[in-house]
Amino acid sequence: MDFPVFASTFGVTARALLALILAVGALAILHGSKPARQQRKSVMQVNIKTTPLYSEPDDQQRKFSLIGLVGGSAVTGALMAIVVSVALAYAVTTLTSLLK
């Protein structure tokens, strides 16, 4: 099948105009439709409470958090290294056995 009108400038322009007309028509239909819910004024009650001011952590809290972060990152790094090394060993073993 040969459709030269689809490959010509006129054909492309006509299809672009058709798409534009359909898009404008869809927008007009959607714009005229009713919204999903009615616009109501919402009344919100606000409770005002006093909050304590921020205070710097003391030295003991800083030491505990530092020890926890360093220990946690060391344990996480060791576990990730074990997982990666096991995966690489499995991949190398599998690939070398395929070559034999």
pLDDT tens digit string along 18-30? 999 999 999 888 8
Tokens coding 97: 């056995």
pLDDT tens digit string along 33-71? 666 666 677 788 888 999 889 889 999 999 999 999 999
Q: Which residue has the tokens 């958090």?
A: 65
The domain limits of the chain are 1-33, 59-100
Global pTM value: 0.43
The secondary structure of residue 33, as a DSSP letter, is S
pLDDT of 83 higher than 90? yes
d(CA 19, CA 8): 17
